[in-house]
A and B are shown apart, each in its own frame.
Chain A
Amino acid sequence: MTTTIRALLGATALLTLMGAANAETTITVATVNNGDMIRMQGLMDDFYAKNPDIKVEWVTLEENVLRQKVTTDIATKGGQFDVLTIGTYEVPIWGKAGWLVSLNDLPADYDAADLLPAIAGGLTVDGNLYASPFYGESSMVMYRKDLMEAAGLTMPDAPTWADIKTAAAAMTDKSKEQYGICLRGKAGWGENMAFLTAMSNSFGAKWFDENWNPQFDQKPWKDTLDFYLDLMNNYGPPGASNNGFNENLALFQQGHCGMWIDATVAASFVTGKDSTVADKVGFALAPDNGLGKRGNWLWAWSLAIPAGSQKVDAAKAFINWATNKDYAALVASKEGWANVPPGTRASLYANPEYAKVPFAKMTLDSINAADPTHPTVDPVPYTGVQFVAIPEFQGFATAVGQQFSAALAGSTSADDALAAAQELVKTEMTKAGYIK
């Protein structure tokens, strides 16, 4: 060994030691570019003040890109992330696969008992909480009170689909670029299929019968799709087949939509500073068809730690900070109660300050109205309201979403879209071995 190499090795060792003495742990957090997450990045000073030895690197990505990167990384054990932002769909599947670190041992001030049962239930596998909810959401109707009034209508707190149609017809005035209803049309299992699957539940439809046979050839699905297409073609905005959550939010904020049925978290944005209609928005439960199920979903963006992360303690400290009750108080003190991440903790809804927020009660009622274990009118072999909690779902649901999106764009008929959906889901289920 030459002296140079020895010297170099010595220097390296010294550097390593110095690094250890400073003990700054850097954790990489993958997150979705939703408003609440962006807001958190602005509040990091508080975290650094409390955890001076932890540094957080953000990787902020659009939902689909995020999901694809995070899934690739965790499935191949790439180890690029220490904290993942994932949803109610991934947590049970990944938890069962042993890919996530159990969060049962978070500090006592985390107060797991305070989490809303409907939300926590979806994130727990065999008694282990595998992800901590950052915000929870259901879906509900957001509507323009001024337009409803001008049309001489009132929105019931628990409308039916017929009510929605009447209201959409009355509020549409295409000459003023005012469209009665905005709904998701962009293909994707988390985009149009989240909405349509939740909607289909209220029409008595289901993805599979008890033997995992796809049900797109049955009447309830046809009713669902026909109703949706009729609504959107007559009263929806142009280009709806490319509209997802964010596009519709922009339309609603600009006053182009009479109604919008979407995530409850949107409420703080449509009443927020970027909205031109902030003071004119009313809220109602997602519609039903008198069959006992409403067309609302249940979702929670949650923070989880991949098994294999080398920095579990720092990651847990971060998750505890970001999803603790104190975080809600921090956001409230900086940006007001309306901007607190909603839908995760009972204590938030017990807070009299928060009760003054116009959409607080409707959000809680919507979350409580969803039942992921019994999502449909008829019994089914799966769980999940707007998804089917099997790994194959996101693939074929996105393909089905493409078909329905095409039907909305008018490039295929509803019947053809349903037939194609039936065919492709059947193939995938056969391929995956569910259908023998």
Chain B
Amino acid sequence: MATEHSRTAARLMVSPAVILLFLWMIVPLGMTIYFSFLRYNLLNPGMETFAGFDNYYYFLTNAAFWDALINTVTLVVGVLVITVFGGIALALLLDQPFWGQGIVRVLVIAPFFVMPTVSALVWKNMFMNPVNGVFAHIAKSLGLQPFDFLSQAPLASIILIVAWSWLPFATLILLTALQSLDREQQEAAEMDGASVLARFWYLTVPHLTRSITVVVLIQTIFLLSVFAEILVTTNGGPGTASTNIPYLVYAQSLLNFDVGGGSAGGIVAVILANIVAFFLMRMIGKNLDA
């Protein structure tokens, strides 16, 4: 089908996007790599000296790095688990006929529109605050001691906040997928006496696999760089309990103003992201073409 002519045309059409993205990737990346080999503190300008691999050494041997790595993984996995399972459950529920479907769908989709800084501020102050938050008021009215979410379970609280923002996204994709499910097949299976569970397992789940992979892919891209929610709620603490890699890089480059160290951290983060991307793409690539 594709002629030589249309191939050339196609190349021309793709190239602006490719060139722009390539520049967008390579220019800051190149500068970051360059900075990462310098001893460069923003507050001591003109004092830059070549540092070799010192910045990398300090970044990787920093105890906070390993905590941050584990926290990043926990955060991504935690939110994925909640949104995928919650999303499936919610999609199954919303797929049933009930009164007021339109309105409920509007309610469920709403968190997706809220900017991360706002949702973090709202959760932190109006809900999780141990003195004035809604949860504290509820605990007190039940005669319980209010739970101090952001100090006692900082990472779990952030996972909750982020999952709240992403649950609508997962639900909507999965719901759309469910709606395209073959009803006749379902009914036939029901006639044959397949249990609800069996029908779910053998018909619904395989049908949802593609959507689930898409949810996982898109969300992972965004979840790897969760930042605003942490900055607003816990500042990565207490200790390093809720510091993830982006936050650690932020702390290095913009709290310490250590551009060299921050750049080294940035490069490490890029490498890690690419490792994740590699596996993710292989997994998705397989699934998407199936």
Contacts and interface: CB of A to CB of B under 8 A. Distances in A.
A423 to B, nearest CB: 8
B201 to A, nearest CB: 41
Given A238-B146, A395-B256, A402 B58 contact: no
Interface stretch (A69-77, A151-159, A292-300, A352-360): A69-77
A238 B131 contact: yes
Contacts of A402: 235-240
Contacts of A251: 131
B127 interface: no
Contacts of B151: 239-242, 408-410
A396 B58 contact: no
Contacts of A406: 237-241
A41 interface: no
Contacts of B64: 399
Given A72-B254, A396-B256, A241 B43 contact: no
B41 A405 contact: no
Interface in A394-433: 394-396, 398-399, 402-403, 405-406, 408-412, 417, 420, 424, 427-428, 431-432
A71 B257 contact: yes
B45 to A, nearest CB: 6
Q: A interface, by DSSP: helix, strand, loop or mixed?
A: helix
A77 B133 CA distance: 42
B46 to A, nearest CB: 9
A412 B241 CA distance: 10
Nearest to A420: B63
B130 interface: yes
B19 to A, nearest CB: 27
A342 to B, nearest CB: 28
B258 interface: yes
Contacts of B257: 71-72, 75, 391, 394-395
Contact of B131 (A187, A241, A256, A411): A256
Interface in B222-262: 234-241, 251-252, 254-258
A75 B45 contact: yes
A372 interface: no
A360 B288 CA distance: 71
Contacts of B145: 238
A411 B155 CA distance: 13
Contacts of A335: none
A394 B257 CA distance: 9
B152 interface: yes
A237 interface: yes
B141 interface: no
A387 B131 CA distance: 31
Interface residues of B, number: 35
Contacts of B152: 409-410
Interface in A337-390: none
Nearest to A237: B131
Interface in B104-138: 129-132
Contact of A427 (B58, B239, B241): B58
Contacts of B62: 424, 427
A412 B239 contact: yes
Contacts of A394: 255-257
A274 interface: no
Interface string B157-183: 000000000000000000000000000
Interface in B192-228: none
Contact of A187 (B44, B54, B237, B256): B237
Contact of A392 (B45, B130, B237, B256): B256
Given A241-B151, A394-B255, A76 B42 contact: yes
Given A412-B239, A431-B54, A391 B41 contact: yes
A97 interface: yes
Interface string A235-257: 00111111000000011001010
A97 B255 contact: no
B44 A409 contact: no
Nearest to A433: B39
B91 interface: no
B238 A68 contact: no
Contacts of A204: none
A93 interface: yes
B79 to A, nearest CB: 22
A398 B58 CA distance: 17
Interface string B87-115: 00000000000000000000000000000
Nearest to B41: A391
A237 B148 CA distance: 10
Contacts of A254: 131-132
A24 B44 CA distance: 36
B80 interface: no
Contacts of A411: 238-239, 241
Interface string B41-61: 111110000000010001000
B125 to A, nearest CB: 9
B150 interface: yes
A214 interface: no
Given A391-B43, A402-B237, 4 more contacts: A187-B235, A242-B150, A392-B41, A406-B238
Interface of A: 64, 68, 71-72, 75-76, 93, 97, 177, 186-188, 237-242, 250-251, 254, 256, 391-392, 394-396, 398-399, 402-403, 405-406, 408-412, 417, 420, 424, 427-428, 431-432
Q: Which 10 A-B pairs have the closest CB atoms?
A: A395-B256, A406-B239, A391-B43, A239-B130, A406-B238, A409-B238, A238-B130, A409-B151, A75-B42, A239-B148
Interface of B: 41-45, 54, 58, 62-64, 129-132, 145-146, 148, 150-152, 234-241, 251-252, 254-258
27 contacts: A64-B235, A68-B254, A75-B43, A97-B44, A177-B131, A187-B235, A237-B130, A238-B130, A238-B131, A241-B237, A242-B150, A254-B131, A254-B132, A256-B131, A398-B255, A398-B256, A399-B64, A402-B235, A405-B239, A406-B237, A406-B240, A406-B241, A409-B151, A409-B238, A409-B239, A424-B63, A432-B41
